[in-house]
Each structure stands twice: as structure tokens, then as C-alpha cells.
């Protein structure tokens, strides 16, 4: 069963790697020549900004995904499908990123692009929350070292994205650039403030070992 867990994580890592590579492929080489190349490079700043934000978002997703699987000793069929749902959502991010980058400075369509980008992050947040909710609900997929009740207690904090990302949808109606900044700040928060999965404290393990010796 541990081999099955490693297989699922390896497949997921491959999808994350492909998706994060597709992001950079959307950065186009400017057509300008000579000194005009500087202007061409500057004109693409929306693509650079969107790439940076989406790269950070996907990177944080991967870190959280890896953290969860490092605490699992087995997988089951529902978890496999929930994992596929998460990967499906992640694989669409390069598309929403490109749409936002292409229209970020277009006054008529910038808000629509920002709404699409933000709405998809809401879908991601709900998909990942459902994934984590199932893992903590069944409990039997965890390693014995994991404090299952403590893991369940992290649900509310883990689901903050389901509250923060809908707010970015509202912001998208007013300013696409500010929406991108908001996503950047949310990603920074999750990157710097990872949610630890509680483990059974060492004292409890020592007491259990002492009881066995008696």
C-alpha cells in the first residue's frame, strides 16, 4: 500500500511539473529588434506578473500536496478520484493565466479575465478542501504517527482559501491588476505560513511503550 501511495504522488508530481512548465512556455519572445527590444520586453510585463503569481500558487499547491502525502500510508479509490479532481483543476491554471495576461491592460476585457482567473482559484480551493476533508474524515489513510483529531482540527484554517478567493472574485469587478496583487499576497501567506499536520506527541508514544513493557 505504501508503494501505491508513492505511485500516486509520483504521478501527481509529474502533472505539477508539466503544468508549471507550460506556464513559462506562454512567455513569448518579442518581435522588436535592436533597442526597440527593450520596449517589447516591457510591453509583456502582464505576462511576467501573471507567470510569477501563478507559479507561486502552483508551487504552494505542490508543497501542500506533498506534505499531505508524506503523512499517508495508503490510498483508497475515493481519494484517487479526489486527487484527479485536484490535478484537473491545477492543469487549467496555465489557460486562465494566459487569458489574464493577454487582457490585464485592456480596459474592456480585463475585468472579465480577472473574474475567470479568480473564479478558477475558488474551484481549486474547494477541490483541495474536499480532498483534505476526506483524508481527515476517514482517518485510516494516515500513518499511525499522525494525530488524527489534531489533523481534523486544521480543516477550518485549511479552508481559508475558500473564503479569501471569493473575495478576489468581487475585487475582479473593479480592478484586474489589484486582483493579481491580491492573489500574490494570498499565495505569499500560504507559502510562509504552512499548516502543520499534528503528530502524536513524543510523551504519548513513550507512555504507550512503557505500558507495553509492563
Look at the chain and report how many structural domains it folds into: 1
Tell whether the model's pLDDT for residue 212 goes beyond 50: no
Q: What does the pLDDT look like over 164-178, one tens digit per residue? A: 889 999 999 999 999
Least confident of 49-58, 113-122, 181-190: 181-190
Q: In DSSP terms, which residues pair with 142 in a beta bridge?
A: 72
φ/ψ (deg, to 5) at 72: -105, 145
Share of the chain above pLDDT 90, in %: 39
**Beta strand extents in the chain (DSSP E only):** none
**Structural domain boundaries, residue 137:** 1-197
The whole-angstrom separation of Cα 124 and Cα 138 is: 22
The whole-angstrom separation of Cα 52 and Cα 27 is: 11
* pLDDT averaged over every residue in the chain: 82
Q: Is residue 202 part of a domain?
A: no
Tell whether the model's pLDDT for residue 18 goes beyond 90: yes
pLDDT for 197: 67
pLDDT for 178: 94
Share of the chain above pLDDT 70, in %: 84
CA dihedral of 132, 5, 187, 102, whole degrees rounded to 10: -110
Which of the two residues, 102 and 38, has the higher pLDDT score?
A: 102
Q: Is residue 133 part of a domain?
A: yes
Tell whether the model's pLDDT for residue 208 goes beyond 50: no
User: Which H or E element spans position 17?
Assistant: helix 2-25
What is the Cα 136 distance to its own chain's centre?
18
The whole-angstrom separation of Cα 88 and Cα 124 is: 9
pLDDT for 51: 92
Q: Is residue 104 part of a domain?
A: yes
pLDDT for 158: 67
Q: How many Cα atoms are found within 13 Å in the side-chain-facing hemisphere of 80?
A: 10
Q: Is residue 209 part of a domain?
A: no
Tell whether the model's pLDDT for residue 188 goes beyond 80: yes
Q: Is residue 90 part of a domain?
A: yes
pLDDT for 35: 76
Q: How far is CA 82 from CA 34, 88, 122, 132, in A?
A: 51, 10, 16, 9
On whether the pTM is more than 0.95, the answer is no
pLDDT for 198: 64
Q: Is residue 213 part of a domain?
A: no
Amino acid at each position: 500500500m505504501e508503494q501505491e501511495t508513492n505511485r500516486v504522488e509520483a504521478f501527481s508530481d509529474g502533472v505539477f511539473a508539466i503544468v508549471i512548465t507550460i506556464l513559462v512556455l506562454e512567455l513569448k519572445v518579442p518581435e522588436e529588434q535592436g533597442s526597440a527590444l527593450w520596449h517589447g520586453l516591457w510591453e509583456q510585463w502582464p505576462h511576467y506578473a501573471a507567470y510569477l503569481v501563478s507559479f507561486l500558487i502552483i508551487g504552494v499547491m505542490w508543497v501542500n500536496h506533498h506534505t499531505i502525502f508524506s503523512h499517508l500510508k495508503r490510498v483508497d479509490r475515493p481519494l484517487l478520484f479526489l486527487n484527479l479532481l485536484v490535478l484537473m483543476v491545477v492543469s487549467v491554471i496555465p489557460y486562465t493565466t494566459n487569458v489574464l495576461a493577454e487582457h490585464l491592460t485592456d480596459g474592456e476585457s480585463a475585468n472579465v479575465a480577472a473574474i475567470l482567473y479568480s473564479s478558477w482559484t475558488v474551484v481549486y480551493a474547494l477541490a483541495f478542501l474536499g480532498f483534505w476533508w476526506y483524508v481527515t474524515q476517514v482517518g485510516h489513510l494516515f500513518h499511525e504517527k499522525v494525530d488524527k483529531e489534531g489533523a481534523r482540527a486544521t480543516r477550518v484554517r485549511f479552508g481559508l482559501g475558500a473564503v479569501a478567493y471569493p473575495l478576489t472574485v468581487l475585487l475582479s469587478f473593479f480592478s484586474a491588476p489589484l486582483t493579481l496583487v491580491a492573489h500574490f499576497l494570498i499565495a505569499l501567506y500560504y507559502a510562509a505560513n504552512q499548516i502543520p499536520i499534528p503528530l502524536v506527541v513524543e510523551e504519548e508514544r513513550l507512555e504507550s511503550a512503557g505500558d507495553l513493557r509492563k
